[in-house]
Chain A
Amino acid sequence: MAVWLLIAGGSLHAETQAFGLEMPAADLTAETITPAVPVIAQADPYTGDMIDPSLLGNDPEAAELEAAATEDELMEEAVYEGLEETSADVDLLIQRLPEGSFNDRRAVAEELAATGDPRVPVVLTALVEGRLLATGDDPPRILIRAETGRAGRDALTGEPVDADLIASGRRIPVHNPLRNALRNLIAVATIAAPDPERRAASLRRLMRDDVSPDMLTYLDERVELETDPRVTDLLLTVRALARLNVDDPEQRIESIALLRGSLLSEVRVRLEATATRDDDPEVRDAARDALDSIESRIRFFRFTENLFFGLSAGSVLLLAAIGLAITFGVMGVINMAHGELIMIGAYTTWFIQTLIPEALSTSILLAIPAAFVVAGIVGIAMERGVIQFLYGRPLETLLATFGISLILQQAVRTMFSPLNRPVASPEWLSGSLYVNPILSLTWSRIYILVFAIMVFVALLLVMKKTSLGLKVRAVAQNRPMARALGVRTGWVDALTFGLGAGIAGVAGVALSQLTNVGPNMGQAYIIDSFMVVVFGGVGNLWGTLVGAMGLGMMTKFLEPHTGAVLAKILVLIFIILFIQRRPRGLFPKKGRAAEA
């Protein structure tokens, strides 16, 4: 973990020196996390004056606005309050937005953007986000639904309207190609927006297309005026990209030197094009050289990324297997219903989420102890009801627990329906930690990695430091002796199984954030769990940790070369061969206990 953070921190630092792009781009990534809230959602604070580049001188004023301009509604307010005279032509155009096909709508939007009316960016943003509504009147009233709450305002006048009218409006439909076109229009209109994030977003958008050298004079002006260092960096990049198209080869080589450190994919694509298509061989060489240096940096980050993928795959394996490390590893019960205990944990998460749908974070946190208790109780019931009569008869235990697993699956199907249950992720569990354009780490995986380690440490403490742990180990090592010393072995068995089952339940909470919650989910984990425990060494918690991480890494480093299907097969073959050589796994139990 510490090593990992060091790597992440180091690369972040390196990136800052090379090209201070991470902040604006980081925000961009954050915006695209949840497609439900489209990119512009977080930052559309802009006023009408930014449309006309000649008004760039307004920047100081705009900077003042910026402080207050954190909320979209405030900015809408600013636009509509500053509205003095409205053009009837623009009004008519806005009213035409609901008509016709997507392509008609696009044509109207382009006409609107050309008018330079201050309301246009606000209206187009609402349209992109699906917040622009039209009533059934003739001509229709165009309304903007507020981002929060059910009220809104009139798109033409900005007058507030009540929730009833908003509810009666029909959303003006948009589709992806139209959204992209609208975003381009908005980007052009916001290149000088008061909010630096908006300006950054606009520049990132511009970069996608070939930047024409005609823009150079304008870009030079912007570089002079720009106050935010991150946006300045982006501006310099865009300017360098534009200069790749100028006639003078010297200038082209200069701008290649400037682009050398950038990890942005747009830059790579342009350099690649220059390296293959430029007329001047020197320019081609320079571009090739720059590309090579970028590639070698990328390779490093790819490796880091793979390392993270491996650790995260390992952490999922660890979570799934750690309960089994108790029931199978310590107690020796071949528990085929282990996967179903994970499923019960996941269903508990779903159930709590349906009880308090508005508090996602709380429901997830509440689900952890709840899933532990529910799965633990089911586990204790299983142990007392069936397994306790079958100790020392592994084959029968296997069959009985397999039967229980089928019963649990069908019970869930009958009780809740065979359909999957949707479990939502809270905001902090979605999206990713942005390091640079190549490397970003998904939050859910990071949290699950940390969570898996926490569960592991907690379990280790329980086993080593508590009296229950002592008794569990005593019973596992020598049952008759433990009983002779006054340990109630039956009670310890039940609690141990309950502990293992409870931890499986907790794993279910974490897995509900990654995958489906349905009656079959447990089956996906049972084989992997056994694999980890057997590979790591039965009865050894550390073995489970190393086994899980090792298998996770192996899968993730194989996958890019072999594909997911073959990687799975290769890992399985490896384990079979490994068990042939070392039947007791990586860390076998030693001493007298091993023979028990």
Chain B
Amino acid sequence: MTQKQWLTSARTPGLVLALSLFGATVQAEEPIKVGVLHSLSGTMAISETTLKDTIEMLVAEQNAKGGVLGRPLEAVVVDPASDWPLFAERTRQLLEQDQVDVIFGVWTSVARKSVLPVVEELNGILFYPVQYEGEESSRNIFYTGAAPNQQAIPAVDYLMNEYGIERWVLAGTDYVYPRTTNRILEAYLKANGVADEDIMINYTPFGHADWQSIVAEIKRFGEQGKATAVVSTINGDANVPFYRELGNQGMSAEDIPVIAFSVGEEELSGMDTRPLVGHLAAWNYFMSVDTPENAEFIGKWHDFIGDTNRVTNDPMEAHYIGFNMWVQAVEDAGTTDVDTVIDALKGVTVPNLTGGMAEMLVNHHITKPVLIGEIQEDGQFLVVWQTDDLIAGDAWSPHLPGSRDIIADWTPPISCGNFNTVTQTCSGQDY
């Protein structure tokens, strides 16, 4: 007889009460289902597997604390296999078949765009943990990663002020995140008086491996007597050959620093870090941040994964924040009902891992500190700069002509993800 059967057969109220004192009622209640939508195979498995583990760890931890609303949590893990249409199908499966109450998942922007109509149609909740290009705000999605103004813009400011950079190379992989980010950065740089000829924009295909000519070109671009930096939105696999080529062609971080938005601890653990030492990355969290919360989180992660060599990174922190926000909103609302929880999530404040508090804003983005780190030989970052205050995430960039007048506000009376403040209309498109 399983415990559950045994419990249901135990009709004596006194016995149930006695058991509840031992926290066993958790087992008695119907579990709350938490969907995990991360690729476990295919090209994105490299980044997303860790996030699946993170949510499983957080779920286990919450259950050890007694679950939520006295009910246990149950993680429902599906594998969208790095296949964008499959992301939409798996979302449908999670919401219709498995009837999950919340979904944590998705990495790439293209996957998010394919999931978005499904979560809106079936009225689900998705927590999206990755830094992204902005220009989006859905009622059903909560963006716990950085918007461009929480990563790219402060990084450029830092280089301008601390390094006195005058010439800029915007190098990226050819897809939506780098293209939008670079569009925002280009507009921002020009607004700050950078001339056209001092900006070089370069796109490369996914997994680009032969960087010889491009690095040579960057080198020439940087030899014009003005301080030059590379702002890199180069994604994933292309980074290893890129940094190797930089090292081999003798470009050091002191001459032409590279600041990356997609290179974190996890990526560094799979690289020979020697050619990267001294180069920079901008994130909202680093594993090396010295706070008690972070030490506790790292300890738990190592216990859960059973390997003290594993690292933590920024999207993991985003999931940690998102998960705690959802738990708190459910407890505040006293129900897992989607509409009630969406309303309860606004204004929820939970601690982040860098010693501050993250608040869920009305545009479904959160407040974050911005940190700049220098890559060290051991694959960790030395924090060289951080913002004094938390920065509120902008769903719509004020630096782009198309989105300057648009705001997202999911509270009445606006209740819209793309409200034009000039025409006072909500365009109501699917984004």
Q: Do A and B bind each other?
A: yes
Which A residues fall within an 8 A CB radius of B? 29, 32-36, 38-39, 102, 173, 175-177, 179-180, 183, 265-266, 268-270, 272-273, 305-306, 309, 312-313, 316, 410, 413, 417-425, 430-432, 440, 442-445, 514-516, 518-521, 523-524, 555-556, 559-560, 563-565, 568
User: Contact flags (1/0) for B267-294 with A, using CB distance below 8 Å?
Assistant: 1011111111111100000000000000
**How near does chain B come to A386, taking the closest CB pair, in angstroms?**
22
Complex: A519 Cα to B245 Cα, angstroms: 22
Measured between beta carbons, the chain A residues less than 8 angstroms from B244 are 425, 444, 514
Whether B109 sits at the interface, judged by CB under 8 Å, is no
A32-B251, A33-B247, A514-B244 provided; 6 other pairs, C-beta below 8 A?
A173-B382, A176-B253, A265-B224, A269-B224, A419-B49, A524-B209
| Distance A312 CA – B277 CA, assembled complex (angstroms) | 26
Q: Tell me whether B35 is interfacial, beta carbon within 8 Å.
A: no
24 inter-chain pairs at a CB distance below 8 angstroms, sorted by A residue, are A35-B247, A38-B252, A38-B278, A39-B252, A39-B254, A176-B253, A176-B374, A179-B254, A180-B254, A265-B224, A269-B224, A273-B225, A313-B210, A316-B209, A420-B46, A424-B274, A430-B275, A432-B249, A442-B249, A515-B240, A518-B237, A519-B45, A523-B207, A563-B203
Does B430 reach chain A (CB closer than 8 Å)? no
CB contacts under 8 Å to A, within B191-215, are 202-205, 207-210, 212-214
Which residue of the partner chain B has the closest CB to A421?
A: B270
By the criterion CB–CB under 8 Å, are A419 and B248 in contact?
no
Q: Which residues of B contact A423 (CB under 8 A)?
A: 272
- Classify the secondary structure of A's interface with B: helix
Contact B203 A35 (CB under 8 A): no
Let me know if B134 is at the binding interface, CB within 8 A: no
Smallest CB-CB separation from B248: which chain A residue? Answer: A442
Given contacts A440-B249, A518-B270, contact A418 B46 (CB under 8 A): yes
Which A residues are in CB contact (< 8 Å) with B273?
Answer: 36, 422
Contact of B272 with A305 in the complex, beta carbons under 8 Å? no
Give bound CA distance, A26 to B307, whole Å: 44
Contact between B266 and A419 (Cβ–Cβ < 8 Å)?
Answer: yes
CA distance A181 to B163 in the complex (A): 11
Looking at the assembled complex, report how far the CB atom of B101 sits from the nearest CB atom of chain A, in whole angstroms. Answer: 28
- Interface membership of chain B positions 17-46, coded 1 if the CB is closer than 8 angstroms to chain A and 0 otherwise: 000000000000000000000001101011
Chain B residue contacts of A424, Cβ below 8 A: 272, 274
**Beta-carbon contact of A34 and B41 below 8 Å:** no
Residue of A nearest to B205 (CB): A565
The answer to whether A309 touches B213, judged by C-beta atoms less than 8 angstroms apart, is: yes
> B241 is contacted by which of A440, A443, A515 (Cβ under 8 Å)?
A515
B86 to chain A, nearest CB (A): 15
Contact of B254 with A316 in the complex, beta carbons under 8 Å: no
B303 to chain A, nearest CB (A): 18
CB atoms of A514 and B241 under 8 A apart: yes
**Residues of the A chain whose Cβ atoms lie less than 8 Å from the Cβ of B174:** 565
Any chain A CB within 8 A of the CB of B257?
yes
Complex contact A432–B248 (CB within 8 A): yes
- B377: interface (CB < 8 Å): yes
C-alpha gap A34/B382 in the complex (Å): 19
Distance between Cα atoms of A309 and B41 in the complex (Å): 34
Whether B237 pairs with A516 at a CB distance below 8 angstroms is yes
- Assess the B252–A309 pair: CB atoms within 8 A: no
Smallest CB gap from B43: residue in A = A520
- B248-262 vs A: 1/0 string, CB under 8 Å? 111111110100000
Report B-chain residues with C-beta under 8 Å of the C-beta of A36. Answer: 273-275, 277, 377
Q: How far is the CB of B201 from chain A (nearest CB, A)?
A: 9
Q: How far is the CA of A420 from the CA of B271 in the complex (A)?
A: 7
Using Cβ atoms and an 8 Å threshold, which residues of chain A touch B217? 560
| Cα separation A180 to B257 with both chains bound (whole Å) | 12
Q: How far is the CA of A514 from the CA of B208 in the complex (A)?
A: 11
Tell whether A564 pairs with B250 under 8 Å between CB atoms, given A515-B240, A516-B270: no
> Measured between C-beta atoms, what is the minimum distance from A502 to chain B in Å?
22
B271 touches A422 (CB 8 A): yes
A225 smallest CB distance to B (angstroms): 30
Q: Is the CB of A443 within 8 A of B41?
A: no
> Assuming the A-B contacts A34-B274, A177-B163, A564-B203, are A556 and B213 also in contact, with contact meaning beta carbons closer than 8 angstroms in the complex?
yes
Give Cα A179–Cα B255 distance, bound, in whole angstroms.
Answer: 11
State whether the Cβ of B98 lies closer than 8 Å to any Cβ in chain A.
no
Q: How far is the CB of B73 from chain A (nearest CB, A)?
A: 25
Cross-chain contact B216 with A316 (CB below 8 angstroms): no
- By a CB distance below 8 angstroms, the chain A residues around B422 are none
Query: Shortest beta-carbon distance, B134 to chain A, in Å?
Result: 23
B248 in contact with A29 (CB, 8 Å)? no
CB distance from B271 to the nearest CB of A (A): 5
Closest residue to A28 on the B side, CB-wise? B250
Q: Name the residue on A nearest B244 (C-beta).
A: A514
Q: A175 to B257: give the CA distance in the assembly, Å.
A: 11
Is B162 engaged at the interface, CB distance under 8 Å to the other chain? yes
Which residue in chain B gives the minimum CB-CB distance to A34?
B274
Q: Does B223 contact A (CB under 8 A)?
A: yes
Q: Which residues of A contact B223 (CB under 8 A)?
A: 265, 268-269
Shortest beta-carbon distance from B255 to chain A in Å: 8
List residues of chain B with CB within 8 A of the CB of A523: 207
- Does the CB pair A177–B248 fall under 8 Å? no
Report the minimum CB–CB distance from B80 to chain A (whole Å): 14
How far, in angstroms, from A178 to B57 measured CA to CA in the complex?
Answer: 41
Q: Is B1 an interface residue (CB 8 A)?
A: no
B-chain residues with CB within 8 Å of residue A270 when the two chains form the complex: 225
Whole-angstrom CA separation of A409 from B217 in the bound complex: 35
**Are B272 and A413 interface neighbours, CB within 8 A?**
no
Let me know if A419 and B274 touch, CB within 8 A. no
Could you say which residues of chain B place their CB within 8 Å of the CB of A33?
247-248, 250
Q: Which 8 pairs from chain A and chain B are nearest by CB?
A: A420-B270, A269-B225, A265-B223, A418-B45, A442-B248, A36-B274, A175-B384, A424-B272
Please indicate which of the listed interface residues A175, A312, A313 has the most CB atoms of chain B within 10 Å of its own CB: A175
Nearest to A268 among chain B residues (CB) is: B223
- The complex places the Cα of A430 from the Cα of B275 at a distance, in Å, of 9
Query: Is A183 within 8 A of B241, CB to CB?
Result: no
Cβ contact within 8 Å between B270 and A564 = no
Q: A440-B250, A565-B174 are in contact. Are A35 and B277 (CB under 8 A)?
A: yes
B257 touches A176 (CB 8 A): yes
**1/0 per position for B39-69, CB-CB distance to A under 8 A?**
0110101100100000000000000000000
Q: Are A410 and B202 touching (Cβ within 8 A)?
A: no
Interface membership of chain B positions 219-246, coded 1 if the CB is closer than 8 angstroms to chain A and 0 otherwise: 0000111000000000001001100110
